[in-house]
Each structure stands twice: as C-alpha cells, then as structure tokens.
Amino acid sequence: MTPDVRWLARLGVDQGLFTRADCLALRMTLGEDAELMAFAQQLIDEGIVEDVALLERLASTAMGKAASGPPASDPFADAPAEEHPVGNASLGSPGAPLPKFDFARLASLADEELSASMTELLRAGARFGASDLHLSAGSRPFLRKHRSLIELDEHVLSAEESLRLNSILLAPHQKQLFQERRDYDYALAVGAANRYRVNLMFHKEGAAGSYRMVPARIPRLDDIGLRNLDTVRRLLSFHNGLILVTGPVGAGKTTTLAALVAELNETRQDHIITVEDPIEIVQPSRGCNVTQREVGPHTKSFASALKGALREDPDVIVIGELRDLETIEMAITASETGHLVIGTMHTSDASTTLNRLLDVFPSSQQPQIRASVAESLRGILCQRLLPGTEGGLVLASEILVGNAAVANLIREGKMQGLRNVIETGVRDGMCLMENVIFDLYQRGKISAETARAQVGSRMMKAKIAA
C-alpha cells in the first residue's frame, strides 16, 4: 500500500469512519498497489463510508502527511495475522476445519440468531476452501470442494427449515420476488471481502439454495493458469471484434472473464460496459471507466442491456452469457461496428462453440451470419477445470485464434476442419484441448484416469494408457 493510502487508513480508523477489518478487506479486493482515490472510492461504492465530506478531508490530509513517509503504525501493518480476512478466492486456510452448524436446532433459533449463523456458515465455507454450499429440502446440507461433495450434517432439511434458511438473508422485496418467481438469482455480499452468487429455487421437496463462493480479490491473468498469455493479451489488444470464453458449468469462465476485464482496465483507457447475471466480481474503475449492470435490478435482459449499451459510447462490451438469438445477433453486430465484445457460452470446444453460435440463426440468414462471424471473430478460449494430482483443480485451456484459415472454414461451414487448423496454428498461439490435457498428464499435473476421461480420440486414449 502507498503511504497516502496507509495514512488514510490510519486517520479513518482513528476517526471511527471505518474499521481495520474494512481496510484489510479492501486490500484483498484492490491489491497491494491500490492508489488513494481508488481506495477512497471503493469505501464509498461498498457503502462502508457515508460521510463523503469527511472522507475527502481525511484523504487531503493523508496526501500531505504522505510526503514525509508512511505512518509509524497503520491498520495494515499492525493487524495480527488472525485478523486478516480469508478471501473466497483462496483455496482456504491450511487446516481450516469443516464448518459446524447444528441444523437440528433451526426451529429454536430466532431470526437474528439464524441470520448470524447463516452468515458465519458462508464465511466458514470460504475459509474451508469450498466452492459451493447447497441447502435443499429433503436432503442433507453439503459443500462442494475440488469437485467432491462433503456432507455438513446428517440432519435432513425439511421444507420449512430449507425455506427459512434460504430466505433468512433476503430483504423483504427479495422474499416476495422469490415467492412469485419460484426461481431467484442474486449476488450476496457478506462484508467487504466475501461475495456469493446465489440461486434459489423450489423443487418437489421444497425450497433449495446454491451458494457459489466468488473470488474476493480480482483475478489476474498471470495467476489463473491460462496458457499462451501473450496470445491472450494480443486478442485483448484489438479494438473491435468478438472474443468468446467457453466451457461447461463450473469451468471457471467467470474468473477468466473477470481477469480479462481487469487486464483491459489496467492497460487501456476505454469505457467498459459489463452485463452480468448477477454481478459477481466488482471491478473498480482504474485506467478504464467500468460500468457494471446486473440483469434484474439494472436491466430487463441481456438483449435489452446490449441494445442500450450501443447508445452509451462503449469501447468494450462484456456479456455474461450469450444465450439467445437476439443477444447473439446484437453481440455480432456490435463487434462489427467498432466495439470489442467479450462473451461466454456453455460449450466444450471451439468447434462446438461456433456451431452453437451459428445454429441459433435460421437457415435463410446462415450465409450472412457466417460471413459476419468470419470477419469479426478474434479468438475463442475454451476451458475445463480438472482434479489435480496434488489436490485442487488444474485449468486446461484450448485457444483458437481467428486467422485467415479459421475465417475461411467459418464462411464455408466446415467446422470439422478446425481441429487441424488449431493443431497447425501453434505459431499463432493456438493449442488444442486434447494436446493440453496430454501435456498436463505428462507433467504429472493430472492422473492418467482423468486425462483419458477428458479426451475423445482413441489414439490419444491409447497414448495416455501407454
């Protein structure tokens, strides 16, 4: 942290404007190189500070005092190790215990006690290194960690218990929406350092909730395990075109998307508009002006947000999911009209991605849309998260770069030729998923069993078995 940020933290804590825990949480979010104005703005954006005038005065004082160096003591340097918040992005503290919660006592807890217990359960899940918490009627509560399911308790939740648990953290208007829609997605913030993507629903046994732990710290491209980073950064250097991030559910697409936005935010001076459902990783404006919109509270749908974005002078448009004809059509149009568009799809490889992208259009539009995609496609990043031999998950990523050969195949509708183009496009930074998986196996990152399960060709399976 720079001296002026340290001074602002010291002055703010002394004045009771915010707490030491708030400072530590913001350091997790903004990183060690946070600047004074970004730190102050984040305090306001997260609702930690309401007295903006006092914050401005303290920031001005901090700038003056920083000329003589950092304070002798500050909330960052003085905090005991145990006070540092554990971010959701971590794999959990070494030896962190399995979260404890006496689900059999639910009925005896008052609403305030249950709310506090639920909040602590979520935090404990993050400390344990879980990626998801599941609370469902007719089922035992469980966590997911490294793709494995871990039961929290032998108690089977009743319909009444599950509904109360999953709605205890909702505001009154959110409870009403959940009851009306019977499905509800929202982002939950538990303090400044812990965020969760929540899906609530009803099924035959009653209510159910899934809580996905969201990284507390903005991910960096260098840290998430992507291959050929120079190629990825070259794709981000374009000022128009279409970049797709794809993979099955739970493949880390959200993390990769956030890392791409963070890279643009630090290396360019543009206007970035993101459309998400919901907003998971908050991106403070740095080099770029970042506008984040959430489907539901801020806009009716991805398509309506994209239509509005085109009138809001964007340079980069980030779409959380390309899921329907209207959204895909507008994304392609935007990529052709001077915008860099980045979106995600639930597909397993580059060939399947392009087939899915093009097949949503009626046959009468196929020639036109193939020509448009051939012209605008910059690249596709396909990824999977695989169980590693040393615990945890390993990222396997396929990269397709939109060169002339790829464009010709798209125009002619010959997607079956993409595999050969990727294999021969090593100089352009391309890599084929099967080759990446085989390389991970050879390096001992994944087991032979995992590798064989992830490849399709008999030749590659035999190669791994040998």
pLDDT in tens, 119-167: 889 988 888 888 899 999 999 999 998 878 999 999 999 999 999 999 9
Which of 151-165, 207-221, 253-267 is the least confident region? 207-221
Percent of the chain scoring above 70 in pLDDT: 93
Interatomic CA distance for residues 359 and 415, integer angstroms: 12
| Cβ contact 123:137 at 8 Å | no
Average pLDDT taken over every residue of the chain: 87
Q: Which helix (H) or strand (E) holds 393?
A: strand 393-401
- Arithmetic mean of pLDDT, 57-73: 81
Q: What tokens were used for 63?
A: 């700038």
State the first-to-last Cα distance of the chain, in angstroms, to the nearest integer: 52
Half-sphere exposure of 251 (CA within 13 A, CB side): 21
Cβ of 201: how many Cβ atoms within 10 Å? 16
| Cβ contact 213:225 at 8 Å | no
Interatomic CA distance for residues 319 and 165, integer angstroms: 32
Interatomic CA distance for residues 333 and 68, integer angstroms: 54
Interatomic CA distance for residues 6 and 29, integer angstroms: 16
- Arithmetic mean of pLDDT, 322-329: 92
pLDDT at 162: 96
**pLDDT of 90 strictly over 80:** no
Band (91; pLDDT cuts 50, 70, 90): very low
- CA 127 vs. chain centroid, Å, equals 18
Nearest Cα to Cα of residue 437 among 380, 384, 388, 396: 396
77 vs 158, more confident: 158
**Residue at token pair 């009716």:** 300
In tens, the pLDDT along 413-445 reads 999 899 999 999 999 999 999 999 999 999 999
> Please, where are the H alpha helices in 137-228?
159-167, 172-181
Q: What tokens were used for 289?
A: 């002006």
pLDDT at 83: 33
| Cβ contact 22:48 at 8 Å | yes
Interatomic CA distance for residues 223 and 389, integer angstroms: 19
Q: Which helix (H) or strand (E) holds 214?
A: strand 206-214
pLDDT at 216: 67
329 vs 97, more confident: 329
- Arithmetic mean of pLDDT, 107-120: 90
Band (81; pLDDT cuts 50, 70, 90): very low
CA distances from 48 to 16, 29, 191, 456 (A): 11, 14, 9, 51
Which of 26-40, 316-330, 433-447 is the least confident region? 26-40
Q: What tokens were used for 6?
A: 């340290």
The pTM of the full predicted model, rounded to 2 decimals, is: 0.71
**pLDDT of 36 strictly over 50:** yes
Cβ of 83: how many Cβ atoms within 10 Å? 11
**Torsion-angle region of residue 406: left (phi > 0), alpha (psi -120 to 50) or beta?**
alpha
Band (457; pLDDT cuts 50, 70, 90): confident
Band (87; pLDDT cuts 50, 70, 90): very low
pLDDT at 288: 93
| Cβ contact 381:246 at 8 Å | yes
Q: What tokens were used for 109?
A: 């807890």
Band (88; pLDDT cuts 50, 70, 90): very low
Q: Write b or e for each residue in 18-32: b if 16 or more Cβ atoms lie within 10 A of its Cβ, otherwise e.
A: bebbbbbbbbbbbee
Cis upstream peptide for 278 (omega within 30°): yes
- Arithmetic mean of pLDDT, 279-303: 87
Percent of the chain scoring above 90 in pLDDT: 50
Nearest Cα to Cα of residue 389 among 450, 466, 464, 437: 450
pLDDT at 239: 94
Interatomic CA distance for residues 178 and 414, integer angstroms: 45
Secondary structure class of 411 (helix, strand, coil): helix
Greatest C-alpha distance within the chain: 71
In tens, the pLDDT along 348-388 reads 889 999 999 999 999 999 999 999 999 999 999 999 999 99
pLDDT at 428: 92
Q: Which helix (H) or strand (E) holds 59?
A: helix 52-66
> Could you tell me the domains of the chain?
3-83 (no CATH), 103-214 (3.30.450.90), 221-431 (3.40.50.300)
